Amino acid sequence: MIVHQPEIRQENGRICVSSRIELSQSAINLPDTVWFCFPERFADKVSDRLDGFTVGMVLIATALKEKLELRGPVSSRLAFGIEEFQRTINLWYPKQYPLIDIRYEQLCAMAPGVEGDAVALAFSGGVDDFYTLWAHLPENQSICSARVTHGLFIQEQGFAPESKDKFVMLEQRYLTLFEQMGLELITVGTNLREFGLGRVDKMLFHGAPIFGAALTLAPLVRRFYISSTSDYMHIKPGGTSPVLDYWLSTETLEFMHFGSSSTALEKLAVLSKWPEAQNYLYV
């Protein structure tokens, strides 16, 4: 599999970053490009590096048992972390996801002086995301540099039409919620899910669009919280995990898995007293 240098274009009020994909197995029917689209106001905050596409496509290449060739700049730290990411996935699922060779055309850190200052989290409106949001608001987080400033709400192409209607409804609700709290919610569109359907277990692949979108916004974001779905006593293999997420960080963007030290009941006890969660929680 070859992943080419990303291109940035504006279309229909959005800024889109896309990369052309070439497969060794011509019989496999997959889209020719993988893309992430953001609101147009973030035109100067998207990256044309391959960091986000590397994380997005490594599981696809592994499932297809293809060598991965990356023809564009990739973070040296991320490339090092991808090795541990691969070994962990292989340890969990040795037959389905073997180790593959990855060739980097250009390994380099993000250029100095372009580090972002935003602190973001993936937000889809469930208990875990609401708990992460609550824990990093100014009234609950005394460390200023750890407070959330942005949320990423991801729309994945490939769902049924009724899911798109639900997405539009939730998007409006959460845009209102974040505005009320003085935060900014960024809506992200991507077709990455189409590459994983039927090839990578959905519980293992669900993190790929999140990491890919965050890394594509690296000029904006310096820290990104991934909400835990289980506590440390019940950790299972999955696409986001306290044993995986850190390895996908770069020199300028740090991924942090948050919430594993609290049980689901403890999170619910907190949220039951928070009016915003009472009004907007979606399960």
The answer as to CATH 3.30.450 being correct for domain 118-280 is: no
- pLDDT band at 183; cut points 50, 70, 90: very high
Q: What is the pLDDT of residues 120-148, one digit of tens each?
A: 999 999 999 999 999 999 999 999 999 99
According to the model, what pLDDT value does residue 160 have?
54
Q: If you average pLDDT over residues 30-36, what whole number do you get?
A: 93
The model's pLDDT over 186-242, given as tens digits with 9 standing for 90+, comes to 999 999 999 988 889 888 999 999 999 999 999 999 999 999 999 898 888 888 999
Give the pLDDT band of residue 81 (cuts 50, 70, 90).
very high
* Mean per-residue pLDDT, 5-22: 94
Q: For a pLDDT cut of 90, what percent of the chain falls above it? A: 78
Note the pLDDT tens digit of each residue in 254-269. Answer: 999 999 999 999 999 9
Q: Is the pLDDT of residue 164 over 60?
A: yes
Q: What is the DSSP secondary-structure string of the chain?
A: -EEEPPEEEEETTEEEEEEEEE-S-TTS---SEEEEEEEGGGGGG---SSHHHHHHHHHHHHHHT--EEEEEEE-HHHHHHHHHHHHHHHHH-TTTS----EEEEEE-PPPTT----EEEEE--SSHHHHHHHHHTSTTT---GGGS--EEEEEEETTS-HHHHHHHHHHHHHHHHHHHHTT-EEEEEEE-HHHHHTTTS-HHHHTTHHHHHHHHHTTTTEEEEEEE-SS-GGG----SS-TTTGGGG--SS-EEEEE-TTS-HHHHHHHHTT-HHHHHH---
Per-residue model confidence as pLDDT tens digits over 85-96: 999 999 999 999
Question: What is the mean pLDDT of the segment spanning 26-30?
Answer: 76
pLDDT confidence of residue 168: 86
pLDDT > 70 fraction of the chain, expressed in percent and rounded: 96
pLDDT higher than threshold 90 for residue 55 = yes
Location of each CATH 3.40.50 domain in the chain:
118-280
